[in-house]
Copies of this chain bind each other. A is one copy, B any other.
Amino acid sequence: MSRPTRITSVTVKDIRFPTSLQKDGSDAMHKSPDYSAAYVTLTTDSDITAYGTTFANGKGTNIVCCAVEVFEKMLVGKQLSDIFDDFGNFWQSLVSEDQIRWLGPEKGVIHLATAAIVNALWDLWAKMENKPLWKLLVDMEPEKLVSTIDFRYMADTLTKEEALEILKKMQDGKKAREEELLAKGFPAYTTSCGWLGYSDEKIKKLATEAMAAGWTRFKMKVGADVKDDVRRAKIFRETLEEDMLLMVDANQKWEVQEAIDWMKQMADYKILWIEEPTNPDDVMGHAAIAEALVPLGIGVATGEMCQNRVMFKQFLKAKAMQYCQIDACRLGGVNEVLAVILLAAKYNVPVCPHAGGVALCELVQHLSMFDFVCVSGTMENRMIEFADHLHEHMLSPVVLKGGRYMAPKDPGYVVGIKEKALADFVYPEGAEWQRMFKEGLFQQE
């Protein structure tokens, strides 16, 4: 296939799945989410087409699509060499765009849109090299890898030189770790058994089935009612084997002291981490909770709504985060995720990516696999979230065996959504949406 030299078009689609009908993904703050994606397609002057996606929720997706369209003009006609020869600089030009940065900078809608575009560029690069993203990153020279990172606002914490040093130190043993990864995959935990909307019976049944399938790490949602949470944790602990892991996720529900008091009531059930105990911007609040929970052996996990590398810098410096939960789309794409992975390594904080939603599992697996082979060098204390829905719509869905992600083999990063799913679920004109409007299952926005 001919080698592309420039981008010829950028299009974005609003793809929404009616997940609210099953309460999949329900939590203390999102009662009825319709998992959605702003789905970007990049065409080139070759037969390579690349995809990028950002996870969003129902009508919010439309706003992200508006933002992607505003970025479009910065990409069409662009020479790929101008992007990939100095990707860090190109990334900076995207997030620094004079008229758009006022809306952030580097946070919220415009950063989600940046992620969709940047992820598409990495998908393109990986396809050009005919490698899955994790392998593209693993094979990349440390100098080239750090050239993709924008180190602005990091000089007091992680310089380019320090990042290089971390990568070079880990060159030893890379081959062996890659073989281990290919043989054994990367540890995962499942969130699919413990959604807030699920009944006790459904939780017990799903957890039992998951154990039979080899799962040993589980997460449940908490935060609506402490008695319910204690009862549900008890059900999990009675169902799970002694050494299996249980994490809980409050999705930002609590005040600082409330989080501490609530978790004290759950301490009997051997909770590894409390995720998002309070507002994602409350660095000092998380630090206070983390300090109070040390005696209970419960760590604080957060990051899925941590807006950029500068905020991760705050959380890591303040010891407010014992588990670093990067999100493949909340951050401004792979370039910024690499910065955060290196930052976490400097602070010896394990990276345990947030996943689920739409295609997040498919994306983050590449990032953790790179982290293992080239940065952390270990799988200890590390695991990727897994939520078992919507994978049937992916062109190349994740492969899990015995509760572990198997290394993806297909070239690229964002492997794309099936044509049928795009046709059925594009909002509002998709066939499935038209059917659901007719049947009165949903009202059109």
B63 touching A110, Cβ below 8 Å: yes
A349 an interface residue at 8 Å Cβ cutoff? no
Pick the contact of A314: B34, B96, B258, B284 (CB < 8 A).
B284
Chain B residue at minimum C-beta to C-beta distance from A443? B73
Query: Contacts of A297 on B, CB cut-off 8 Å?
Result: none
Instruction: Tell me whether A156 and B257 are in contact in the complex, defined as CB-CB below 8 angstroms, given that A29-B101, A60-B70, A60-B102 are known contacts.
Output: yes
Taking Cβ atoms with an 8 Å cutoff, the residues of A that contact B are: 29-34, 56-60, 62-64, 66-67, 70, 73, 96, 98-112, 152-153, 155-156, 252, 255-258, 278-285, 288, 305, 307-308, 310-311, 313-314, 317-318, 445
Instruction: Tell me whether A60 and B99 are in contact in the complex, defined as CB-CB below 8 angstroms, given that A105-B252, A156-B256, A252-B105 are known contacts.
Output: yes
B310 touching A279, Cβ below 8 Å: yes
Please measure, in the bound complex, the distance between the C-alpha atom of A34 and the C-alpha atom of B110, giving whole angstroms: 18
Q: How near does chain B come to A100, taking the closest CB pair, in angstroms? A: 5
**Can you list 7 contacts pairing A with B, beta carbon distance less than 8 Å?**
A29-B98, A32-B98, A58-B99, A60-B70, A153-B255, A279-B310, A282-B313
B59 touching A100, Cβ below 8 Å: yes
B155 touching A255, Cβ below 8 Å: yes
Pick the contact of A30: B29, B102, B156 (CB < 8 A).
B102
B96 touching A29, Cβ below 8 Å: yes
The 10 closest A-B pairs by CB, nearest first: A108-B108, A58-B99, A66-B66, A109-B109, A155-B255, A153-B279, A57-B102, A281-B310, A156-B256, A57-B99
B156 touching A285, Cβ below 8 Å: yes
A109 touching B103, Cβ below 8 Å: yes
B105 touching A107, Cβ below 8 Å: no
A281 touching B107, Cβ below 8 Å: yes
Please measure, in the bound complex, the distance between the C-alpha atom of A62 and the C-alpha atom of B63, giving whole angstroms: 10
Please measure, in the bound complex, the distance between the C-alpha atom of A200 and the C-alpha atom of B317, giving whole angstroms: 42
Please measure, in the bound complex, the distance between the C-alpha atom of A311 and the C-alpha atom of B57, giving whole angstroms: 24
Chain B residue at minimum C-beta to C-beta distance from A278? B153
Instruction: Tell me whether A66 and B60 are in contact in the complex, defined as CB-CB below 8 angstroms, given that A155-B257, A284-B317, A310-B279 are known contacts.
Output: no
Query: Contacts of A152 on B, CB cut-off 8 Å?
Result: 255, 279
